[in-house]
């Protein structure tokens, strides 16, 4: 096997899945993650389709089952917390033959991380500052000042990828913004006391809340913004301020949830954007997950497709005995047409993602109620089935 030493930037969903498979296939992956520990937080993910298949191959289904939220129903509420519509989630699971979970992103990340071979080196609290390619490999200088040589480099560092910026150019060339921002955080010592996922809307805004147990509730926010907002990705204080000003007067439990925002440890805030690139690789450097093909929240599949891409990339490297030119080309050939379709269908959903009027909210509630009926479930869930992608055995 050639080119065994592979540096992965980012220990999120894509990066950890890639490390798992590279190790499994006989490579020697190293991960660098800029956060000091594995990042916590994030949304609740519908976990099904090809991502479920990859997880099955990894042998992590029992661990994922143990952290499945397994909520009873999605309930749409008004400002007085009265139920205005609902969707029976258990019926949907039955339709998918039980091959579906709802997971918190952080639980998924932790389960994958724990499944990685203990021999894989993980550097926390550092990032790549400089990349230099030569005939033999990639010389990397880290922000800490250390330098290391690797055979290949993979950017799995998310929507605002550092590797993409250093090797392919500025984010603005590849980002397509879809007019929304999203945020999530977990609050301790609040519970809604039911096993439902509650969703509240006012025009252009949506809040979801789920209580994992008596001591922990996660809140998810989405709001429309026609223009991109000016703030730095790392300026959490500014992001919290934006969220407060958007939702503080929106009613329901918004003020209460936001009053706890400063005590949270997993605050997440970002724009809803896709990444579209001509090529996911350049010489000895490739991209996977959001870094290369972010489908956005609108697809409902960002995390599962990050896992699928990581599996295919590692598999093609194995199949080509480490010949990265062949492998990267094949990875793109196999997976890019499928991803482009997924991005396109997510894009079509953008305008109607959050209802923009009271009538729109009423209509959405009715439509979701119908979706609990099996015939409509089928139509709704077909998009999650990932037909059109057959995973190879590598
Ligand atoms: C903490 C967290 C919470 C999230 N919550 C939501 C949410 O609520 N809603 C939503 O739509 N999407 C959310 N996302 C994004 C979602 O997880 C991804 O769309 C999806 O899982 C694809 O995974 P990924 O591995 O490609 O990217 P990510 O899951 O974003 O992982 C990227 C990883 O790279 C690391 N990283 C970033 N920059 C660098 C750097 N310069 N050097 C080294 N490492 C770097 C990050 O810390 C992260 O661990 C969240 C991501 C994170 C990290």
Residue 37's SS3 state is: coil
Which pLDDT tens digit goes with each residue over 62-116? Answer: 999 999 988 878 889 999 999 888 888 777 777 777 888 999 999 999 999 999 9
Pocket test for ligand 1, best of 10, 126, 164, 305 (most atoms within 8 A of CB): 10
Residue 181's SS3 state is: strand
From ligand 1's centre to the CA of 332, what distance in Å? 22
Per this entry, what is the length of the chain?
Answer: 394
In this prediction, the residues of the chain whose per-residue pLDDT falls under 70 are 193-194, 371-385
Q: Count of CB atoms within 10 A of residue 226's CB?
A: 8
What distance in Å separates the CA atoms of residue 98 and residue 100, rounded to the nearest whole number?
5
- Which class is domain 5-71+101-174+274-352? alpha beta
Q: Are 386 and 49 within 8 A, CB to CB?
A: yes
Q: 162 CB less than 6 Å from ligand 1?
A: yes
Place of tokens 């990705």: 233
Which candidate, 48, 53, 60, places its Cα nearest to that of 20? 60
What distance in Å separates the CA atoms of residue 153 and residue 337, rounded to the nearest whole number?
23
Q: 292 CB less than 6 Å from ligand 1?
A: no
What distance in Å separates the CA atoms of residue 206 and residue 354, rounded to the nearest whole number?
7
Which candidate, 211, 192, 217, 253, places its Cα nearest to that of 71? 211
The DSSP code sequence of 246-277 is HHTTS-TTHHHHHHTGGG-S--EEEEEEEE--
End-to-end CA distance of the chain: 14
What distance in Å separates the CA atoms of residue 256 and residue 156, rounded to the nearest whole number?
36
Q: State both tokens at 50.
A: 């090809």
From ligand 1's centre to the CA of 73, what distance in Å? 27
What distance in Å separates the CA atoms of residue 351 and residue 348, rounded to the nearest whole number?
7
From ligand 1's centre to the CA of 17, what distance in Å? 13
Q: 153 CB less than 6 Å from ligand 1?
A: no
How many helices and strands, by DSSP H and E, does the chain display? 13, 18
Q: Which atom of ligand 1 is nearest to the CA of 305?
A: 22
From ligand 1's centre to the CA of 6, what distance in Å? 20
Residue 150's SS3 state is: strand
Nearest CA to ligand 1 atom 20: 303
Q: Which atom of ligand 1 is nearest to the CA of 105?
A: 17
Q: Are 10 and 155 within 8 A, CB to CB?
A: yes
Long-range contacts, stretch 223-230, CB < 8 angstroms, 24+ apart: 223/180, 223/181, 223/247, 223/354, 224/179, 224/180, 224/354, 224/356, 225/179, 225/180, 225/181, 226/179, 228/177, 228/271, 229/181, 229/271
Q: 14 CB less than 6 Å from ligand 1?
A: yes
Which pLDDT tens digit goes with each residue over 254-292? Answer: 999 999 999 898 999 999 999 999 999 999 999 999 999
- 106, containing H or E segment: helix 105-115
* Partners of residue 66 on adjacent β-strands: none
The pLDDT value recorded for residue 363 is: 87
Q: 184 CB less than 6 Å from ligand 1?
A: yes
Enumerate the H helices of 248-357 as residue ranges.
254-259, 290-293, 302-319, 324-349
Chain centre distance of CA 195: 24
Instruction: Map out the domains of the chain as residue ranges.
Output: 5-71+101-174+274-352
The pLDDT value recorded for residue 382 is: 65
Q: Are 11 and 116 within 8 A, CB to CB?
A: no
Which candidate, 184, 243, 157, places its Cα nearest to that of 42? 184
- 115, containing H or E segment: helix 105-115
Nearest CA to ligand 1 atom 5: 42
Q: 131 CB less than 6 Å from ligand 1?
A: no
From ligand 1's centre to the CA of 198, what distance in Å? 24
């Amino acid at each position: 096997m050639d080119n065994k030493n592979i540096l992965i930037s980012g220990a999120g969903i894509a990066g950890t899945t890639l490390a798992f498979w590279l190790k499994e296939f006989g490579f020697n992956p190293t991960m660098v993650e800029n956060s000091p520990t594995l990042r916590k937080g994030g949304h609740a993910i519908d976990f099904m389709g090809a991502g479920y298949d990859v997880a099955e191959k990894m042998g992590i289904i029992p661990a994922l089952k143990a952290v499945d939220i397994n909520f009873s129903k999605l309930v749409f509420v008004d400002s007085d917390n009265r139920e205005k519509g609902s969707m029976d989630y258990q019926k949907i699971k039955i339709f998918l033959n039980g091959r579906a979970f709802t997971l918190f992103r952080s639980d998924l990340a932790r389960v994958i991380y724990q499944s990685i071979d203990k021999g894989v080196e993980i550097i926390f609290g550092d990032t790549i500052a400089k990349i230099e390619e030569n005939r033999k490999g990639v010389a990397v200088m880290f922000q800490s000042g250390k330098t290391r040589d690797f055979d290949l480099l993979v950017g799995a560092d998310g929507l605002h990828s550092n590797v993409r910026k250093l090797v392919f150019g500025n984010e603005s060339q590849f980002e397509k913004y879809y007019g929304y921002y999203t945020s999530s955080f977990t609050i301790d010592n609040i519970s809604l006391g039911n096993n439902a996922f509650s969703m509240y809307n006012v025009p252009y805004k949506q809040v979801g809340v789920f209580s994992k147990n008596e001591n922990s509730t996660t809140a998810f926010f989405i709001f429309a913004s026609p223009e991109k907002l000016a703030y730095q990705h790392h300026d959490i204080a500014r992001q919290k301020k934006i969220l407060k000003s958007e939702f503080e007067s929106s009613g329901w439990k918004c003020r209460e949830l936001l009053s706890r925002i400063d005590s949270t440890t997993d605050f997440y805030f970002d724009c809803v954007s896709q990444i579209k690139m001509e090529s996911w690789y350049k010489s000895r450097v490739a991209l996977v997950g959001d870094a290369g093909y972010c489908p956005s929240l609108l697809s409902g599949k960002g995390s599962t497709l990050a896992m699928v891409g990581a599996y295919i990339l590692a598999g093609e490297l194995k199949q080509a005995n480490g010949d990265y030119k062949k492998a990267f080309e094949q990875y793109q050939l196999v997976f890019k047409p499928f991803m482009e379709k997924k991005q396109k269908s997510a894009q079509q959903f953008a305008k109607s993602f959050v209802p923009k009027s009271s009538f729109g909210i009423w209509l959405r509630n009715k439509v979701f109620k119908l979706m609990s009926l099996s015939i409509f479930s089928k139509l709704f869930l077909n998009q999650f089935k990932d037909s059109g992608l057959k995973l190879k055995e590598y």
